[in-house]
Amino acid sequence: MSAAEAKTETPENKDRSDEARSFFRAVVESNGLVVFLAVVAALVVGAVLVVFADKSVQDAAGYFFSRPTDLLSAAWTAVSDAYVAMFQGAIYNLHADSFSGAIKPLTNSLTFSAPLIFAGLGLGVGFRAGLFNIGAQGQVILGAILAGFVGFQFHLPLGIHLALAVIGAVLGGALWGFIPGLLKATTGAHEVIVTIMLNYVGLYLLAWLLSLESFQAPGSDNPKSPPIDGNAQWPKLLGDDYGLHWGFIAALLAAWGVWWLMERSTWGFTFRAVGANPSAATNAGMNVKMTYVLVMVIAGTLAGLAGGTQVLGTEKALTTGIAGSIGFDAITVALLGRSRPAGIVAAGILFGGLRASGPTLQVQANLPIDIVLVIQSVIVLFIAAPPLVRFLFRMPNPRLVKEVTA
Amino acid sequence: MTTVSASVHTGQATSFRSVLSEWKAVIGYGLIALLGLIVFGLRTDSGVSTSFQISRPDDTVQVPSFSVPAQPIALTLAVILFAFAGYQAWAKLRGTSVGVWLPIAYGVTFMAALLTWAGAGREDTNVAITGMLVSGVFLAVPLVFGALSGTLCERSGVVNIAIEGQLLGGAFLAAVVASATHNAYLGMLAAPIAGALVGMLLALFAVRYWVDQIVVGVVLNVLVIGITSFLFSTVLSDNTALNQAGAQIGAQGGVMIQNLPIPLLSDIPILGPVLFDQNALVYVMYAIVIVFQIMLFKSRWGLRVRAVGEHPKAADTVGIKVNRTRVRNTILGGAIAGLGGAFFTVASQLAFSKEMTSGKGYIALAAMILGRWNPKGALLAALLFGFADALRIQLGVIGSPIPSEFLAMLPYLATIFAVAGLVGRSRPPAAENIPYKK
């Protein structure tokens, strides 16, 4: 640690929430270049894995000393195949016959990004209020359960049915956010532990519900609900040829709503104040405990909406795997988006694209989708540790530069 | 004016809460006993019986199976539960504290009542006591290692959410090394290396770069899932010889981790098979728990670790290297969790598969919290969760009236109650998740 850094550090006697704040501030304030370099570094790590697993590279490595260029060209082919496949699966299909076929991957990416944006927004609100909510997964599941139940159980007119199903998503998510918020406010129970545990409770609750006769499609014993009523589905955005539905537009509207909430409303000011310094917020007359509950309810609401888009737009039936790993991916989305709505939308689309490229990656480059998990997690590790990125890319320390010029 | 009324209000709230928290043990015991009386006692059909099978068919000493009339026994057990609750209340009034035997005896009685109720009237199946206990201990193994790993890390002030990743990494490397060398014990030796690598990454980001430890832990779990699943679908599916089940390795002349019954001790009815007819990993687990229980609380090393976790500044003042201690403990903890990962592959004689730890790392975290950050408590909590899991399986066999999903939720619910202060009070080390910056 450099002396200049030490000087700018706050005094030692700080509590847990101060520490959380300094981390979140680091994430929120990390500059765009660091984020870009983190993505580059993650792609390099991904490339290393691809090369390591490639069969022709392994063969070429066997006679490396007689013809070293073979190894290099095999490695290059493997890596470029992988990233070309990823591009074609996520953005633009070069081999399609028509323009509408060529942009289909992009619309798929946007479909995948909708729940990530919703859940990421919820987590972002929590992070900025100093709450580390790992419970998006459970909140997504509960949202999906209620939205799905309303969706397949009733048969209501167009418009009303979708609205009711979305309200179901909101209530389910909000309930699963309210519990840890309330426990933190009343007993001080750490939200990280409670939310992790609630994820599993939600998962088993879903598994139990889907084992009931009333949650299964008639005449079937599979853990899968009857299909969602047509009136309760998110309508298609670009016609029936594309999977993209209005849930994506709803996610963008939610992003605008969260921006307004955090930047323009009194509540948002309170949230940010509590996140920046809970004791100062208390002294300023803000109700910190109430804020914790409120923030968790809002975070749960947004995550519940993510479950709603999954069940009402993408999957159109409730299944045990309805939430996939959205709740955990959303953590990386929120961190990469630096907890800001615009950043979360961008990060959500990026990770949605990575997800959407899975099938193409499998078919064209014969690679499993799991490489995406590696890329995602490495990106987040790097942006969480700007000094490491600066060290890897030999960048100057901004604090040191400031010190010198001042 | 407003402040006065506010303080009066909070004063009442605290006194009410303190009364509640003083009597919560009694209230809890009473409520559960009531539940036991209503469900197990009164809702069991009269005139049917439950049969218990004590010994397994191949045990040396055979205890004959027996059946009991279900309803009278369930009623009696429920009354005994009330007696325990009454004893707790009496001890509370006298101001004496009861020993640890009460919750254990209470739990055992409750289990007996539950099994009597669940097995009532099912003539063709019987409740296999020993089999259930053996699998309970076995299922607790990864939880014990994971919880111990968490304890070691957190006692030095580093939160280890990456237990899941360490278990998974250990399971992966154990399978690969055992398959490649045809020696399951070499696999067991390799497992801690994978866990230690994850621990090193955790230490690098948490101690060197001050990244929030919870973030690093969560992300490392995703990273390990990504890497192991990727290698599983590529390298391991191309070379199936690198990922074989334990039995297959054995067939090729290698060794698989098999049960090593301890002479004499393993012949004791019930206790013998449960504790002393297990594999090497279980015996290592006993040793590690005892060693770290003594080391953490009786040795100079343990005192230093705890000082670093509670008050790093004070520790630094007397010359303890805070960050070095944290790095070492995090790596050691990672290695222990990695060893626990060997359970999933070489000790269970299974081949590696994607995400095969399926959240056991998070249950281990729960066991650490319920065990109040000490090895002995972690062992007991992990055993409790292991038995809950074994009970779930047993109830599945005899056809349970309780959906198995609710039993599977129990560990998680217990943890929520624990951190909310409803079951005992669990207080983490004070300097947990706070990087030490000089």
What are the tens digits of pLDDT across the range B161-186?
A: 999 999 999 999 999 998 888 888 88
CB contact under 8 A, A16 and B413: no
Q: What is the predicted pLDDT for the residue at B226? A: 93
Q: What is the predicted pLDDT for the residue at A149? A: 95
Give percent above pLDDT 90 in chain B.
34
Q: Is the dihedral of CA A338, A342, A346, A349 positive or negative?
A: positive
CB contact under 8 A, A200 and B359: yes
Residue A30 has pLDDT above 70, yes or no: no
| Whether residue B56 is found in the same domain as residue B199 | no
CB contact under 8 A, B209 and A388: yes
Average pLDDT of span B92-116: 81
| Whether residue B174 is found in the same domain as residue B266 | yes
Residue A406 has pLDDT above 50, yes or no: no
Q: What is the predicted pLDDT for the residue at A76? A: 87
Contact A357, A90 (CB under 8 A): yes
Average pLDDT of the residues of chain B:
84
CATH number at residue B215: 1.10.3470
| Whether residue B285 is found in the same domain as residue B320 | yes
Q: What is the predicted pLDDT for the residue at B250? A: 57
Residue B285 has pLDDT above 80, yes or no: yes
A97 CB within 8 Å of a chain B CB:
no
Number of domains, chain B = 2
Residues A281-305 pLDDT 10s: 999 999 999 999 999 999 999 999 9
Q: How confident is the model at residue B150 (pLDDT cuts 50, 70, 90)?
A: very high
User: Which range has highest mean pLDDT (A30-39, A397-406, B1-10)?
Assistant: A30-39
Residue A343 has pLDDT above 80, yes or no: yes
| Whether residue B100 is found in the same domain as residue B170 | no
The 3-state DSSP composition of chain B as helix, strand, coil percent (nearest 5) reads: 70, 5, 25
Residue B406 lies in a domain: no
Tell me how far apart the alpha carbons of residues B151 and B149 are, in angstroms, rounded to a whole number.
Answer: 5
Half-sphere exposure (CA, 13 Å, Cβ side) for A187? 23
Give percent above pLDDT 70 in chain B.
90
Which amino acid is located at B170 in the chain? Answer: G
Residue B1 lies in a domain: no
Average pLDDT of span B310-320: 93
Place of tokens 């994430």: A27
Containing H/E element for B66?
strand B66-69
The interface residues of chain A toward chain B in range 53-82, judged by CB-CB distance below 8 A, are 53, 55
Q: How confident is the model at residue A400 (pLDDT cuts 50, 70, 90)?
A: low
Q: Which of B97, B125, B153 represents a domain boundary (last residue)?
A: B125
Q: How confident is the model at residue B149 (pLDDT cuts 50, 70, 90)?
A: very high
Among the partner-chain residues A12, A194, A380, the one whose CB lies closest to the CB of B219 is: A380
Angle at B69 between CA B67 and CA B71, to 5 degrees: 140
Least confident of A95-109, B88-102, B134-148: B88-102
Residue B410 lies in a domain: no
Angle at B109 between CA B121 and CA B413, to 5 degrees: 95
Contact B181, B396 (CB under 8 A): no
Q: What is the predicted pLDDT for the residue at B255? A: 56
Is pLDDT larger for residue A338 or for residue B296? B296
Tell me how far apart the alpha carbons of residues B172 and B351 are, in angstroms, rounded to a whole number.
Answer: 9
- Paired sense of beta strands B49-53 and B66-69, if any: antiparallel
Neighbours of B118 (CB within 10 A): 21
| Whether residue B307 is found in the same domain as residue B174 | yes
Average pLDDT of span A276-285: 91
Residues B77-86 pLDDT 10s: 888 988 988 8
Residues A74-96 pLDDT 10s: 888 888 888 888 888 888 888 87
Kindly state the greatest CA–CA separation across chain B.
84
Residue B433 lies in a domain: no
Between B280-298 and B184-203, two packed helices, what is the crossing angle to 10 degrees? 40
Q: Is the dihedral of CA A139, A188, B410, B166 positive or negative?
A: positive
Q: Which of B91, B125, B159 represents a domain boundary (last residue)?
A: B125
| Whether residue B311 is found in the same domain as residue B166 | yes
Which amino acid is located at A239 in the chain? Answer: G
The interface residues of chain A toward chain B in range 108-147, judged by CB-CB distance below 8 A, are 132, 134
Average pLDDT of the residues of chain A:
85
Give percent above pLDDT 70 in chain A.
90
Q: What is the predicted pLDDT for the residue at B239? A: 83
The interface residues of chain A toward chain B in range 343-382, judged by CB-CB distance below 8 A, are 367-368, 370-374, 376-378, 380-381
| Whether residue B31 is found in the same domain as residue B171 | no
Residue B416 lies in a domain: no
B362 CB within 8 Å of a chain A CB:
yes
Nearest CA in chain B to A20: B212
Contact B343, B281 (CB under 8 A): yes
Compute the nearest-CA separation of A374 from chain B (Å): 5
Average pLDDT of span B36-40: 82
Q: Which residues fall within 8 angstroms of residue A235, CB to CB, at 6 or more apart?
A: A245, A246
Please report the number of interchain residue pairs, chain A to chain B, with beta-carbon separation below 8 angstroms.
150
Tell me how far apart the alpha carbons of residues B397 and B407 are, in angstroms, rounded to a whole number.
Answer: 14
Tell me how far apart the alpha carbons of residues B137 and B336 are, in angstroms, rounded to a whole number.
Answer: 18
Q: How confident is the model at residue A11 (pLDDT cuts 50, 70, 90)?
A: very low
Burial class (CB in 10 A: 0-12, 13-18, 19+), B18: exposed
Contact B318, B438 (CB under 8 A): no
CB contact under 8 A, A12 and B214: no
Residue B4 lies in a domain: no
Instruction: Give the domain extent around B273.
Output: 130-386
| Whether residue B120 is found in the same domain as residue B141 | no
Tell me how far apart the alpha carbons of residues A367 and A82 are, in angstroms, rounded to a whole number.
Answer: 7
| Whether residue B213 is found in the same domain as residue B353 | yes
Contacts of B359 in chain A (CB under 8 A): 200
Q: What is the predicted pLDDT for the residue at A301? A: 97
Angle at B88 between CA B82 and CA B89, to 5 degrees: 90
B111 CB within 8 Å of a chain A CB:
no
| Whether residue B116 is found in the same domain as residue B186 | no
CB contact under 8 A, B226 and A196: no
Between B360-370 and B375-398, two packed helices, what is the crossing angle to 10 degrees? 130
Q: Which of B77, B96, B125 represents a domain boundary (last residue)?
A: B125
Can you list the alpha helix ranges (DSSP code H) found in B210-263? 213-233, 235-238, 246-251
Residue A19 has pLDDT above 80, yes or no: no
Q: Report the side by side order of strands in the sheet with B66-69.
A: B66-69, B49-53, B127-128
Which amino acid is located at B145 in the chain? Answer: F
Retrieve residue A65's tokens: 């000393």
Compute the nearest-CA separation of B415 from chain A (Å): 7
Q: What is the predicted pLDDT for the residue at B14? A: 56
Residues A306-324 pLDDT 10s: 999 999 998 899 999 898 8
Retrieve residue A208's tokens: 């139990």
Retrieve residue B178's tokens: 């055992």
Contacts of B218 in chain A (CB under 8 A): 134, 328, 331
Q: What is the predicted pLDDT for the residue at B171? A: 95
CB contact under 8 A, A12 and B313: yes
Q: Which residues fall within 8 angstroms of residue B206, CB to CB, at 6 or more apart?
A: B158, B159, B213, B216, B326, B330, B435
Q: If you write DSSP's letter for every residue of A101-158 in order, what string do you get? A: HHTHHHHHHHHHHHHHHHHHHHHHHHHHTT----THHHHHHHHHHHHHHHHHH----T
Retrieve residue A376's tokens: 């995602």
Q: How confident is the model at residue B18 (pLDDT cuts 50, 70, 90)?
A: low
Retrieve residue A350's tokens: 């990026």
Residues A187-200 pLDDT 10s: 888 888 899 889 99
Average pLDDT of span A371-381: 89
Containing H/E element for B128?
strand B127-128
Q: Which residues fall within 8 angstroms of residue A401, CB to CB, at 6 or more apart?
A: none
Tell me how far apart the alpha carbons of residues B209 and B206 are, in angstroms, rounded to a whole number.
Answer: 6
Buried b or exposed e, range B322-354, using 16+ CB within 10 angstroms: bbebbbbbbbbbbbbbbbbbbbbbbbbbbbbbe
Is pLDDT larger for residue A35 or for residue B292? B292
Contact B414, B363 (CB under 8 A): no
CB contact under 8 A, A377 and B437: no
Residues B337-389 pLDDT 10s: 999 999 999 888 888 998 898 889 988 988 898 888 889 989 988 998 888 88
Contact B361, B354 (CB under 8 A): no
Residue B12 lies in a domain: no
Residue A382 has pLDDT above 90, yes or no: no
Q: What is the predicted pLDDT for the residue at A7? A: 37
Q: How confident is the model at residue B301 (pLDDT cuts 50, 70, 90)?
A: very high
Question: How many angstroms from the chain centroid is the CA of residue A81?
Answer: 26
Nearest CA in chain A to B431: A16
Is pLDDT larger for residue B414 or for residue A304? A304
User: Which range has highest mean pLDDT (A385-389, B28-32, B353-357, B423-427)?
Assistant: B353-357
Place of tokens 């992988």: A82
| Whether residue B51 is found in the same domain as residue B177 | no
Kindly state the greatest CA–CA separation across chain A.
76
Q: How confident is the model at residue A69 (pLDDT cuts 50, 70, 90)?
A: confident
Residue B84 lies in a domain: yes
| Whether residue B249 is found in the same domain as residue B315 | yes
Contact A348, A105 (CB under 8 A): no
Contact A199, A327 (CB under 8 A): yes
Q: What is the predicted pLDDT for the residue at A4? A: 40
The interface residues of chain B toward chain A in range 159-188, judged by CB-CB distance below 8 A, are 161
Gyration radius of chain A's alpha carbons: 23
B434 CB within 8 Å of a chain A CB:
yes
Q: What is the predicted pLDDT for the residue at A172? A: 96
Contacts of A208 in chain B (CB under 8 A): 403, 405-406
